[in-house]
Structure 1
Amino acid sequence: MRLLNTTTLKLTEFTRDVPPYAILSHTWGDEEVTFQEIGLPERHKKKGFRKIRWCCQQAKRDTLEWAWVDTCCIDKTSSAELSEAINSMYNWYREAQVCYVYLEDVPDLDADLDPGLDSDADDESEAALRWDDRFRPARWFTRGWCLQELIAPGAVEFYSAGWREIGTKLSLCERISKITGIPSNVLLDPDSALEGCCLAQRMSWASARKTSRVEDEAYCLLGIFGVHMPLLYGEGERAFYRLQEEIIRQTEDYSFLLWSEVPPDDRWLAPGHYFRDSVDMVG
């Protein structure tokens, strides 16, 4: 596991005795700083460098010497390293001291929109509605990889476009649960609560989320189901069927048959979006 020094912004690889670190969750955009570019002097010219710098500055304020950012801490030109990273990523987020969620499409919020402020009920209700208008549409809530990045870490802090803190997973739990459909107990205590959620429930949380590559619809869920499997980019939808095959080798949870419609070609396994309404059938 490579970590970024929050002072020097230099990478160091740790094979064991990994030090405490912060981790960044974000949506990818234009001009991300890659592993090959993080050590170059012109890195600051790329748009993606700003959130790396903000993440490291916040980690330093939180007295953390190290940080992990997926854009620059993984050498994605190595298929072996990428496979190891994806199969380990849920645990990397779970073991982080804190996860910073950067919502670059959420404008900075005025103090009176902060749902944590003390105010009378009417003012707080009005502020919450105005605040949700900005928070709820965040692209981060629609991306497949961000699902495990929300669930796995114990401490999660949300930041707006100008790196202003919006709140934490604890303070925003009720709102996040409404947006994502994930029960509050899973958000706050995934280590114990996740096991109590059937396969169909967990599939439903991801059913409306998107990934840039078809195969990642399956690969981004490995940690949610506690499975490992080799990555085969180019296999298309077959990746999602392989994921289900790996899951049912480990459990007799037949809720994976709760589809919202009949799968194509009379298959007994279904694509991910077929689980969108399955949570309503559980019970």
Structure 2
Amino acid sequence: MRLLNVFTMKLEEYFGSQIPGYDILSHCWGTEEITFGDINGSTWREKDGALKIVNASFQCRSRANHQRRYIWIDTCCIDKSSSAELSEAINSMYNWYKRSVVCFAYLGDVDKDVEDEIRKSRWFTRGWTLQELVAPKEVIFFDKNWNYLGDKNTLSTLLSQITTIPEAVLANPPRHRSCSLARKMSWAAGRETTREEDIAYCLLGLFEVNMPLLYGEGARAFIRLQEEIIKETDDQSLFAW
């Protein structure tokens, strides 16, 4: 697992039991994100996307009283030029969010702590952010200026209303296993991904399956997802989807 050191702002790689405690970022991608290639260079701070990296790193440092040194950010911690690495990362991502100490959810289109603005945030419409809400033990929400909005516990009623995810699951993520397959699929209804295949790939962790990524397969990805899920269960509610 590749992590960003929030003091040196350099990437470091760890494996298995050697992986240290880390925070993690959940966000919607913008037009000028800092990539793996950028973060290894010297001019990345000049890009528009740099501020998100810097502010997330600051939150990691300050909230842990300078004791936590690492954060994982998808844009710069995955070498997407490697199909093997990308496949491993997507199949591991739910567990990476689950194992994080704190997840920072950045709502880049919310500029004040108003319930209606939070409800309308694009963050709640994206496929990938579903697992990023469910999996972590602690999720802290920030507005576009990195002002604190609340956390998964204090906002649980609102979050449940927006997403239809039961408050009991938000409070205790493993309880999602007690929900039917159809109910979990319903949480993803209406969510979107940039690439067609990702609407299936973003659900791998929630349904606890692994499968190779085949970009270019289109809608076939969702069929493969269903096939993998049904191997592990006799819950026929899946076929309602």
TM > 0.5 between the two? yes
Matched, 1:209 2:209: no
Percent identity, aligned pairs only? 54
In structure 2, give the amino acid aligned to 1:256.
L
Partner SS, residue 88 of structure 1: helix
Once the two structures are superposed, the pairs formed by residues 131-150 of structure 1 within 5 Å of their partners are 131-150=114-133
The aligned counterpart of 2:229 is 247
In structure 2, give the amino acid aligned to 1:103.
L
Partner SS, residue 32 of structure 2: coil
Matched, 1:160 2:160: no
The aligned counterpart of 1:40 is 41
In structure 2, give the amino acid aligned to 1:248.
I
1:40 Cα deviation after fit: 1.9
Q: Distance in 2 between matches of 1:98 and 1:197?
A: 25
CA RMSD of aligned residues (A): 0.8
Q: Distance in 1 between matches of 2:211 and 2:187?
A: 21
Q: Which deviations, in whole Å up to 9, do the C-alpha atoms of 1:187-224 show, x marking residues without a partner?
A: 11111x11110110010000110000000000000000
Partner SS, residue 3 of structure 1: strand
User: After TM superposition, where is structure 1 displaced by more than 6 Å over at least 4 residues in a row?
Assistant: none
Partner SS, residue 205 of structure 2: helix
In structure 2, give the amino acid aligned to 1:55.
A
Relative to the length of structure 1, the TM-score reads: 0.83
1:256 Cα deviation after fit: 1.5
Matched, 1:10 2:10: yes
Once the two structures are superposed, the pairs formed by residues 1-283 of structure 1 within 5 Å of their partners are 1-16=1-16, 17-63=18-64, 64-109=68-113, 131-191=114-174, 193-258=175-240, 275=241
Partner SS, residue 179 of structure 1: helix
Q: Distance in 1 between matches of 2:239 and 2:2?
A: 40
The aligned counterpart of 1:127 is none
Q: Which deviations, in whole Å up to 9, do the C-alpha atoms of 1:233-253 show, x marking residues without a partner?
A: 000000000000000011000
Relative to the length of structure 2, the TM-score reads: 0.97
**Structure index of larger Rg:** 1
1:48 Cα deviation after fit: 1.2
In structure 2, give the amino acid aligned to 1:8.
T
Q: Distance in 2 between matches of 1:248 and 1:107?
A: 43
Higher mean Cα deviation, 14-23 or 74-83? Answer: 14-23
In structure 1, give the amino acid aligned to 2:80.
K
Unaligned runs of 5+ in 2: none
1:108 Cα deviation after fit: 3.4
Q: Which deviations, in whole Å up to 9, do the C-alpha atoms of 1:140-171 show, x marking residues without a partner?
A: 00000000000000000000000001000000
1:39 Cα deviation after fit: 2.4
1:53 Cα deviation after fit: 0.5
Q: Distance in 1 between matches of 2:143 and 2:74?
A: 19
Unaligned runs of 5+ in 1: 110-130, 259-274, 276-283
In structure 2, give the amino acid aligned to 1:94.
K
Partner SS, residue 222 of structure 1: coil
Q: Distance in 2 between matches of 1:205 and 1:156?
A: 18
1:52 Cα deviation after fit: 0.7
